[in-house]
Structure 1
Amino acid sequence: MGVTNGASLIEIDSQEEVEDPFLAFIDYARTVISPEEDDGEEGEGNKDPTEAAAEATGPGWGWVASRILKTCTAYSSGVTAAILLSDLSQAWHEQNKPGMSKKKPELIAQLKKSHRRRRLANTVTIDSIHEKNFLSMNSVLEAVIINADVLPGTNIFMLTLGDCWSSNTIDIYLHRRYYELVETPNGILGKGREVLLTGCYLRTAREGFGTPRLLPTEYLIILLDEDQDDDAILIAAQFCSDTFASVSLDAFNSGTSYSLYARIESIGPLESELKFSTAHRRQIVLVDGDGDRLKFILWGEQVIVANLLSVGSMLGIERPYISSLEESAVDGKDEFCLEYGSATHLYLFPATLQEERVCVALTQNQCQGSKLLGSGGVSQVTLPRDAEGSIDYSNYPFRTIITDIRDKTTGISLYGIVTDILCDDPNATGVVFSLKIEDTSGAIWAKLHFTSYWSLGRLGVGHVVYVSGLSCRVTNKNCLEVLWHEKDEKAAFVNLSCLPAFLTSSCLHKISTLSQISKHIKPAVNICRVKLDEIDQCHNIKTRLSHSLCGHFIDEESSSASSSHGGNLRCGFCRVSCTGNAGSEVVRTFDITITLADEETKLYAWCTGQSASAILQISPDEFYDLPEDDQLMYPSLENEWFLVTLSNSGRGNSGSGLGLSYETEATCWEITRALKI
């Protein structure tokens, strides 16, 4: 079987991919973005397949899946294979641009060989700056100084910068606070020195004359190399005499300056908020060689400096500003904290990128396209490890299945079906739901931590979902705990069963018959072409109150009893009051049951929300306002044909007390999306 619209070249090797074209398209897209090496390459035949290991250099499975779903969300009317492949190729090209044919400076070529640190999150390449002619304030440049010269006839220093990923260079005017580091004969800001910069403004070329240049920025960090003797001497001479214990607020106020050297333990927002100011603040917790801790505070625009730092790196702070906790409005037992002052210089020994080889399960090689990593098969994949020892699966080449999940893992992406939902103790700190996800290998519970309230829209048992940004750890009870935090940068949650683009994107689905989906045992989005065989207007079309935030019905009888005692309408799913609460409005929606039919069989289903409105061709409020006789005489839509997404809402329903059982007691099939054809 092939996938339409350009994906027909896919060779499907596994039964699961035959049943789920979405998975097949992801594997196909990876081969297009990162084509397989030539099988005839010298030495290829000498590899031992059982010992083969692959560097995860191509796009990870999760990256491709997330990008496809992001495009589908943006284009609700549907996408083609050409649109998806173009978007994927462009995004991957910009993120990992190989460079132009122009020869790179030898300095850059040597630097790339020894580049062993993790690329920072907001890093942009110099090539991309030239291409887009744009640079945002929070972008990060990881650069090396090619030249440091004084502009002729001035006392202005200009640095020429290059990076490991670009063929182009770019000039930047050096901020005057750093002149003392370049004016001396042995100044540290010289040729070959690596630096990190942010907060840069781009001065574009005008009317075709000149070249783009970067204006001065205060936010520059000098990188040190532990393998270089000069850098080791600098640390010993400049930073080893002062410790946190030797710092005195009174001495600082009397004119004493300090140079401190410590490990970055954590980077995060301040625990307390300022009541008298709207300025943003970040705190970096530092630990010196004696084990003492001290906070380094960033204020206002300075917070973007945190983008240049990474946990586990060693930070040298020359001439920090020292303020009392009262002056900085910071809570803590210490007498003072450090701040990024006007004379402060920062030096960094970046944490070396740690990697670990992860064994690839035999089922992965057999079922998930190991051909992407070489014709000989792959038994191991090298993945990065963070400062806490957790392995980052963000760039794992294969789809992560539930049996792959292990202790100390982050960046996990799961694709599966929801089989149960539980609302954690509403009195607990934060908003937490537990979600049971099942794939072909098993099932696992994941704890979803929301920033304020449920924000995923309608989600029910039987819906197929994609979740990224999961992490896993072993609890004190020796159980695996899977966590998802909405606030995390890499966190994403997509309900494929309710995604409009799936109905109109033929490259991502195949149309099944009703008899085929009733036999499916593996998670997949079921798309069927059906006609409406029977709607009983007298009994099966009704409107009910729904919670707009989560899309679930409100138990009006219980709410009425509560209201009679002075209570409010309450959502049985997310257990919040639906009146007087921002984002928690009550809306009217349909609740209908219907018989669907195709050429082979019939199937009884129910639906609500958008799918019900699409089938009835009227909004719930309009239908509710009709006189009772008009409701009974509403035009019949029987024998009209629709393209629908069906979910088995009765599967695994354990009666979790979230108001799911009454939605599925009549039938186990839910129409989650519908489109008239």
Structure 2
Amino acid sequence: MDIENQDPFLAFIDHARSVLSPVEGDEDEEIYDPSTNGSESTGPGWSWIASRILKTCIAYSSGVTSAILLSDLSQAWSEQRRSGVSKKRPEIISHLKKKHRRNKLANTVTIDSVYEKNFLSLNSVLEAVIVDAFVLPGTNIYMLTLGDFWSSNTIELYLHRRYYDLVDPHSGILKRGREIFLTGCYLRTAREGAGSTRLLPTEYLVILLDDDQDDDAMLIAAQFCSDSFSSISFNEASTGVPYSLYARIESIQSKEIQGISGSVKRKEITLVDNDGVRLEFLLWGEQVLLANLFSVGSMLALDRPYIASSAESAIETSHELCLEYGSATQLFLVPFLQHEEQVYIPSSQNRYQGSRLMSTVDPAQGFKVSQVALPCDSQGSVDFSSYPFQSFVTDLHDKMTSVSLYGVVTDIFRERNTPEVIFSLKIEDATGAIWAKLHFARSWSFGRLGIGHTVYLAGLSCHLRKHSGLEATWYDNAAGAFFVNLSCLPALLNSSCLHKLSCLSDLSSEASCTYICRVRLDQVDQCHVNTRFSHSFCGHVVNKMPSGDVECSFCHCNCDAEVVRTFHLKITLADETGKMFAWCIGQTATELLQISPDEFYDLPEDEQFMYPSSLENESFIVALVNCQGQGYGFSQSITQEADAIPWEITRALRCE
């Protein structure tokens, strides 16, 4: 089965990939390494292209062309590659870059971008290298000249006085070649006075250590390994006894605490020392900016943290103590280095897609790419966000993160035995089906989704559970999480590069796909128009309960304040090849009837009866899906809407 020949959307992704990363040479085997960040012959991953195309379609709801998509993709990829381009930079940074293997932090900005925008937000992170440390002439003010691995410019920082004891030219650690992370910076631009653009002092600075370097390893052993979490005495700490601690960052969580004068932001960083003892490190208010500098798996060295009572800090923990960032605290970090794992290309890639990157001139020679190098975390979970190929259900296995899936929804329901908002979604592609648990921070937020709809889901994680087998999970507030219902995407109908027109006679109840057809409305005297109430969040019908409350048949929640009037329409579509009976609901029905549900409801009954006759032979481009395919589930809300009619019109656009 050649998916790409049947699905123009997948075919366009492959075409875009060939444009962005043309194949050069015909080596029999090679290892594809996305960590090169697009340098030389490597290109963007499959999910990056798919997500970018869909985001452009959302931005251009009236439709896109191949030229628009390729232009947007090319520009975005060029900008992403820019950080990997070699620039003229201080020699000390060029030397350090050779062994630089960690990933950028989430909020990292480059020094070049600071100059370009003449702006720096407090939330931004600078991953900098000290190029020079000096005292301003005639003062006792210390300055650091900073560079980074991605910029040709340097910038000067007024060093905060809490770090002056570390900048001594003879014994200080803040000297040429030392890496630091800093955030919470204010920018003093050249326009504001004489002199050049500089960074004003910030307390939120972390000094990086390299435990492979003898000096740093000795510092860690001498200063931070004599104390442990178990050795902390609250009474001694209260009398001023200092502690220096060393532990791994296990998790970082955000909280908001309600105080007397309002809410206060808090970060709870869970630390684990070498003895396996856990302790919470708390950041309050503006201090939460410091968490931008941390990453899970990194080793944090805390010099003179403030020792606080867990009860007074209002945290739930089995330990009576917790750590806070005090006025004398200084932080050192051994960053978690991103490891890589060689992932072999599964046979499904050869069978289900003909990517140029994988093919060779002579198929008998085997794959051009036999394996890819992907980053993995300290727990061994492999990050598939830069995977060059489409992932199929059959490829999923334990310890996969940032996975993208493209397929058809064959069942869906809300889990009702948990206080959390969790929906179980069954996604099927040409290789199989899998249940994915979708976790929402508040409520369902995807709009209308039904059985038979084609979806793209990015940000999935897969883990093998002892009793339940392989489990796929997705969190709507996680980094990289993205969901699009292609069957309801407005731009799809107007974007000929992403679909091909089908005749009604081409529709097959055996196929799982979204058909795009040019049709006219027929036999409108036999159509059925009803107005119902639906849940505005999900677009599904609501039911009135015996208690008088209104409950969504899909979300299973009380939704009195979120109910809107909607159409439920059953109508005959026709073209030169045949006719078919189909149904639709919500915005699609409104588009076909060309009147709002409230306006229709206010019409006299005889006008409501006569109204459809004015639509005879009106032409539309429609998206059609089979919502009752073999093996599909039948949740109550879906069957209530489908009413035993197999074909749903998921989107409609009137033809002039």
TM-score, structure 2 as length reference: 0.92
C-alpha distance in structure 2 between counterparts of 1:654 and 1:31, whole Å: 35
CA contact (8 A) 1:455 1:549 kept: yes
Would you say 1:595 and 2:579 are equivalent positions?
A: no
Q: Distance in 2 between matches of 1:518 and 1:77?
A: 28
Would you say 1:74 and 2:59 are equivalent positions?
Answer: yes
Deviations 1:602-621 (A, max 9, x none): 22211111111111110011
Q: How does 1:15-54 map to 2 (within 5 A)?
A: 15-36=2-23, 38-39=24-25, 47-49=27-29, 52-54=30-32
Match of 2:480 in 1: 490
Percent of residue pairs bearing the same amino acid type = 60
Any idea what the Cα deviations from partners look like across 1:509-533, whole Å, max 9, x if unmatched?
222222223377353x322111112
1:450 and 2:427 equivalent?
Answer: no
Q: Indicate whether 1:97 and 2:82 are aligned.
A: yes
Shift of 1:210: 5.8
Structure 2 counterpart of 1:3: none
Find the counterpart in structure 2 of residue 676 from structure 1.
654
1:616 is aligned to 2:593? yes
Q: Does 1:116 align with 2:106?
A: no
Task: State the SS of the aligned residue for 1:71.
Answer: helix
How has the CA–CA distance of structure 1 residues 100 and 552 changed in structure 2, closer, same or farther, with 3 Å as cutoff?
closer
Indicate conservation of the 8 Å contact 1:365/1:377, yes or no. no
The alpha-carbon distance between structure 1 residues 370 and 507, as it changes in their structure 2 partners (threshold 3 A), is closer
Q: Could you say if the C-alpha distance between residues 656 and 603 of structure 1 is closer, same or farther in structure 2, counting changes exceeding 3 Å? A: closer
Return the letter of the residue paired with 2:329. T
**Paired AA for residue 25 in structure 1:** F
Q: 1:422 aligns with which of 413, 426, 429?
A: 413
In structure 1, the residue matched to 2:607 is 630
- 1:536 aligned to 2:525? yes
- Decide which moves more: 461-470 or 634-643: 634-643
Counterparts of 2:554 and 2:651 in 1: how far apart (Å)? 21
Matched, 1:135 2:135: no
Q: Which amino acid in the other structure matches residue 138 of structure 2?
A: G
1:5 is aligned to none
1:357 paired to 2:335: no
**Alpha carbons 1:473, 1:481 under 8 Å: kept:** yes
**Structure-1 residue corresponding to 2:45:** 60
1:536 Cα deviation after fit: 2.8
SS at match of 1:278: strand
Counterpart AA for 2:409: V
Matched with 2:363 is: none
- Shift of the alpha carbon at 1:467? 0.7
Q: Indicate the residue corresponding to 2:549 in structure 1.
A: 568
| Counterparts of 2:121 and 2:198, CA distance in 1 | 14
For residue 603 of structure 1, give the secondary structure of its aligned residue in structure 2.
Answer: strand
Distance 1:369 1:307 in 2: 41
Aligned to 1:504: 494
Q: Which residue of 1 aligns with 2:39?
A: none
CA contact (8 A) 2:302 2:330 kept: yes
Paired with 2:429 and 2:100, the residues of 1 have a C-alpha distance of 38
What displacement does 1:106 show?
2.2
Q: Which secondary structure does the structure 1 equivalent of 2:312 belong to? A: helix
2: CA distance, partners of 1:546 / 1:261: 55
1:521 aligns with 2:506: no
Task: Report the count of equivalent residues.
Answer: 640
Distance 1:590 1:92 in 2: 43
Question: Is the counterpart of residue 468 in structure 1 residue 458 in structure 2?
Answer: yes
The one-letter code sitting in structure 2 at the alignment partner of 1:535 is V
Q: Aligned to 2:340, what secondary structure does the other structure show?
A: strand
**Structure-2 residue corresponding to 1:6:** none
Q: CA deviation at 1:480?
A: 0.7
**What amino acid is the match of 1:644?**
V
Q: Give 1:218 shift.
A: 1.5
Give how far 1:122 is off.
2.0
Indicate the larger mover: 356-365 or 84-93. Answer: 84-93
SS in 2 for 1:187: coil
Instruction: Give the superposition deviation at 1:265.
Output: 1.8
Alignment match of 2:538 (pick from 524, 528, 550) = 550
1:392 shift after superposition: 0.9
Give a deviation string over 1:434-485, Cα, whole Å, max 9, x none.
Answer: 1110111111111111222222111000111111111111112251111111
**Which residue of structure 1 lines up, in the alignment, with residue 140 of structure 2?**
155
Secondary structure of 1:403's aligned partner: helix
Give, as a single letter, the amino acid of the residue that structure 2 aligns with 1:665. Answer: D
Shift in Å at residue 657 of structure 1?
Answer: 3.6
- Aligned partners of 2:70, 2:459: CA distance in 1, in Å? 23
C-alpha displacement at 1:256, in angstroms? Answer: 1.4
Counterpart residue identity of residue 264, structure 2: A
Determine helix, strand or coil for the equivalent of 1:96.
Answer: helix
The residue matched to 1:233 in structure 2 has which SS? helix
Which of 599, 602, 619 does residue 641 from structure 1 map onto?
A: 619
Structure 2 vs 1, CA of residues 590 and 393 (structure 1 numbering), >3 Å: closer, same or farther?
same
The one-letter code of the counterpart of 2:577 is E
Deviation at residue 35 of structure 1 after TM alignment: 4.0
Q: 1:67 to 1:378 in 2, by over 3 A?
A: same
Q: Structure 1 residue 211: deviation in Å? A: 4.7
Change (3 A) 1:554 1:444: same
What is the CA–CA distance in structure 2 between the aligned matches of 1:608 and 1:208, rounded to whole Å?
A: 62
User: CA 1:188 to 1:293, structure 2 compared with 1: closer, same or farther past 3 Å?
Assistant: same
Q: 1:633 deviation in Å? A: 1.9
What is the CA-CA distance between 1:98 and the residue it aligns to? Answer: 4.3
Q: Is the 8 A contact 1:16 1:522 kept in 2?
A: no
1:427–1:541 Cα change, 3 Å: same
Q: Which residue of 1 aligns with 2:640?
A: 662
Aligned to 2:470: 480
2:560 to 566, 576, 579: 579
| Whole-angstrom CA distance in 1 between matches of 2:19 and 2:122 | 33
1:281 Cα shift?
A: 0.8
Distance in 1 (CA, whole Å) between partners of 2:72 and 2:139 is 46
3-state SS, counterpart of residue 536 of structure 1: helix
Query: SS at 1:372's partner residue?
Result: coil
Q: Distance in 1 between matches of 2:196 and 2:579?
A: 68
Partner Cα distance (1:48, 1:504) in 2: 41
Deviation at residue 373 of structure 1 after TM alignment: 6.4
* Secondary structure at the counterpart of residue 443 of structure 2: coil
- The residue that corresponds to 1:9 in the other structure is none
1:392 to 383, 386, 389: 383
Contact 1:420 1:653 in 2 (8 A): no
* Equivalent-residue separation in structure 1 for 2:375 and 2:439 (angstroms): 25
In structure 2, distance between residues paired with 1:439 and 1:126: 45
Gaps of at least 5 residues in structure 1 are 1-13, 40-44
Q: Does residue 188 of the first structure (1) align with residue 173 of the second (2)?
A: yes
| Aligned ranges 1:211-230 → 2 under 5 Å | 211-230=196-215
- Aligned to 2:407, the other structure's residue is in SS state strand
- Asked whether the equivalents of residues 18 and 356 of structure 2 are also in contact (C-alpha less than 8 Å), the reply is no
SS at match of 1:120: coil
Kindly state the Cα deviation for residue 132 of structure 1 after the two structures are TM-superposed. Answer: 3.0
The separation in 1 between residues aligned to 2:110 and 2:289, in whole angstroms, is 18
Kept in 2, the 8 Å contact 1:532–1:640? The answer is yes
- Which deviates the most, 136-145 or 77-86? 77-86
Q: Which amino acid aligns with 1:630?
A: E
| 5+ long unaligned stretches in structure 2 | 37-42, 361-366
Q: Indicate conservation of the 8 Å contact 2:243/2:303, yes or no.
A: yes
Considering only aligned residues, what root-mean-square deviation do their CA atoms show, in Å? 2.3
> Which residue of structure 1 aligns with residue 40 of structure 2?
none
Give the distance between the partners of 1:180 and 1:83, measured in 2 at CA.
Answer: 56
CA distance in 2, matches of 1:285, 1:591: 52
SS of residue matched to 2:253 = strand
